[in-house]
């Protein structure tokens, strides 16, 4: 472990709440990793959590007393649940059991952990852990939806074998994934002070950074909508503005990458210094993307039309009798994300897709990642009331092989910088592992 790595969370105060469940043993490794990165850690152990790990274990690793009892007069006099909640930069609940999630969603405060959670004004990050059927139960889904609406961030759960012998979603995220989520929730990714340099989050906007972490790498980005002709004057399309894809192109350039931006029809200026390939249809976009390979990173931010007219009319289609109906036969377009993610010699080392959904956001995004073979999926809610489609701000959930991370609302430019910085460190880690 280098000195730089040890300071990645230097000065950050983490309050860890350990719930009851077999996954509680991972909390000990989490404390160790947080301390290695320079964070201070205080731990609260629930009564059920104490059935799996001991206060002594948490105390030794955190170098702080492990708190357990709401009605401990000495603790209340010297620390108090209000001070515990206020003195932390972030509160992490790991594991977050179904019972703890339910109490949080309903504002219950019958022990020290829940009293702290109700009294805090800081960001709360939870790492759910429970049986797959408990996770899928309508009550848990309602509670999670409530917590998300309240601003609580989630990491995981992951899919895998349960302690009970069943298989499915419900395993607590691994400590490494929780560390990444902690950094994102604090608003200053580990990347900002990593060995890759502070320029990852604050690169010059004037153009490519010759010493940036993506220097010497090629990034392929698709952006905007596609227009699928019905006849010479009509087409199928969507409401994508291309703002997010173009922001990603600018961010990649700032970090030193050679950038190829394959853009559908948009009303945006071309990012200066970026090679832009303009296309209209999904077939044209796929051809341009394949022609841009090889690439180190591929980001499919374009909102490609899923369908096209099965038979494009050579002349403008005319209305028939007033009030008459017309039918349009559709054919599926090629899937650009799945094509780029397909294993092979030209597959980019990191393939990132986007999932714009109006319902079941996380579940649909997780399913899309598996089906398309992508490394990451950036999921965002595009229900009309969110303003994400065509707007300047977004709130995304990053789906990786390690779980789900909820990012706070931010501008599309800031999201682009954070995502590309995260991608840069991931490639650095992959290179280090290969060496």
* pLDDT tens column, 1-36: 333 333 467 888 889 999 988 888 888 989 998 888
**Active site includes 164?**
yes
| 156 shares its domain with 253 | no
| 351 shares its domain with 400 | yes
Q: Is the peptide bond before 364 cis (omega within 30 degrees of 0)?
A: no
| 109 shares its domain with 217 | no
Write down the pTM of the prediction: 0.55
Q: Which domain holds residue 303?
A: 208-310+329-434
Inside any domain, residue 32: yes
| 98 shares its domain with 215 | no
As for how many domains the chain has, the answer is: 2
- H/E stretch holding 414 reads helix 412-434
Inside any domain, residue 152: yes
Mean pLDDT per 10-residue section of the chain, whose length is 435 residues = 47 89 88 87 89 87 81 52 79 92 90 88 89 87 84 80 72 84 61 29 42 89 95 89 94 93 92 90 92 95 92 85 81 94 93 91 94 95 61 89 91 92 90 73
Q: What CATH number has the domain bearing residue 113?
A: 3.40.50.1950
Interacting residues of 55 by C-beta distance below 8 A, sequence separation 6+? 45, 66, 68
The residue from 6, 145, 164, 371 that is catalytic is 164
Contact by Cβ (8 Å): 178, 157: no
- What 3-state class would DSSP assign to 135? helix
Token reading at 148: 């998300």
Distance CA 394, CA 367 (A): 21
Distance CA 416, CA 406 (A): 15
Distance CA 161, CA 343 (A): 26
Inside any domain, residue 319: no
Inside any domain, residue 361: yes
| 296 shares its domain with 429 | yes
Inside any domain, residue 91: yes
Among 131, 151, 185, the domain boundary falls at 185
Q: What CATH number has the domain bearing residue 394?
A: 3.40.50.10300
Number of residues that this document lists for the chain: 435
pLDDT at residue 83, rounded to an integer: 76
In the numeric block, the tokens 């969370």 are attached to 9
Inside any domain, residue 323: no
Contact by Cβ (8 Å): 97, 17: no
| 134 shares its domain with 220 | no
Inside any domain, residue 155: yes
- Give me the torsion for CA of 199, 201, 207, 213, rounded to 10°: 50
| 255 shares its domain with 379 | yes
pLDDT at residue 180, rounded to an integer: 78
Distance CA 11, CA 9 (A): 6
In the numeric block, the tokens 């502070």 are attached to 198
Distance CA 275, CA 260 (A): 5
| 83 shares its domain with 225 | no
Contact by Cβ (8 Å): 62, 41: yes
Interacting residues of 78 by C-beta distance below 8 A, sequence separation 6+? none
| 266 shares its domain with 341 | yes
In the numeric block, the tokens 């950038």 are attached to 259
| 177 shares its domain with 213 | no
Interacting residues of 253 by C-beta distance below 8 A, sequence separation 6+? 207, 208, 259, 271, 273, 274
| 126 shares its domain with 12 | yes
Q: Is the peptide bond before 157 cis (omega within 30 degrees of 0)?
A: yes
DSSP 434: H
| 217 shares its domain with 158 | no
Q: Rounded to 5 degrees, what are φ and ψ at 98?
A: -60, -40
Sign of the dihedral defined by the CA atoms of residues 56, 104, 187, 183, in that order = positive
Inside any domain, residue 28: yes
């Amino acid at each position: 472990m280098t000195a730089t790595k040890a300071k990645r969370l230097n000065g950050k105060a983490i309050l860890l709440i350990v719930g009851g469940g077999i996954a509680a043993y991972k909390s000990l490794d989490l404390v160790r990793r947080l301390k290695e990165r320079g964070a201070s850690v205080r731990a609260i152990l629930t009564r059920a959590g104490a059935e799996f790990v001991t206060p002594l274990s948490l105390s030794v690793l955190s170098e702080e007393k492990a708190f357990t009892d709401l009605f401990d007069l000495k603790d209340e006099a010297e620390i108090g649940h209000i001070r515990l909640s206020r003195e932390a930069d972030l509160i992490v609940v790991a594991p977050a059991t179904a019972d703890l999630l339910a109490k949080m969603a309903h504002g219950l405060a019958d022990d020290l952990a829940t009293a702290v959670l109700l009294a805090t004004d800081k960001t709360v990050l939870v790492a759910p852990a429970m049986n797959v059927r408990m996770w899928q139960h309508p009550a848990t889904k309602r509670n999670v939806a409530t917590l998300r609406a309240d601003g609580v961030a989630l990491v995981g759960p992951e899919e895998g074998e349960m302690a009970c012998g069943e298989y499915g979603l419900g395993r607590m995220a691994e400590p490494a994934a929780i560390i990444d989520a902690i950094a994102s929730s604090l608003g200053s990714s580990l990347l900002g002070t990593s060995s890759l340099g502070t320029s990852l989050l604050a690169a010059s906007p004037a153009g490519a950074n010759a010493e940036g972490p993506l220097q010497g790498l090629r990034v392929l980005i698709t952006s905007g909508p596609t227009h699928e002709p019905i006849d010479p004057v009509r087409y199928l399309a969507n409401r994508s503005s291309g703002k997010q894809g173009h922001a990603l192109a600018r961010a990649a350039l700032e970090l030193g990458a050679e950038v190829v931006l394959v853009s559908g029809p948009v009303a945006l200026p071309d990012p200066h210094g970026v090679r832009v390939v303009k296309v209209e249809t999904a077939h044209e976009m796929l051809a341009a993307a394949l022609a841009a390979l090889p690439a180190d990173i591929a980001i499919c931010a374009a909102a490609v039309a899923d369908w096209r007219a099965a038979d494009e009319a050579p002349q403008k289609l005319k209305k028939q009798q007033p009030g008459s109906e017309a039918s349009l036969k559709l054919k599926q377009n090629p899937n650009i994300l799945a094509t780029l993610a397909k294993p092979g010699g030209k597959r980019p080392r990191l393939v990132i897709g986007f999932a714009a959904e109006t319902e079941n956001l996380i579940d649909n995004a997780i399913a899309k990642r598996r089906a398309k073979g992508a490394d990451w999926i950036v999921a965002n809610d595009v229900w009309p009331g969110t303003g994400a489609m065509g707007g300047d701000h977004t709130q995304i959930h990053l789906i990786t092989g390690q779980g789900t991370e909820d990012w706070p609302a931010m501008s599309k430019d800031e999201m682009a910088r954070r995502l590309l910085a995260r991608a840069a460190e991931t490639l650095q880690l992959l290179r280090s592992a290969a060496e």
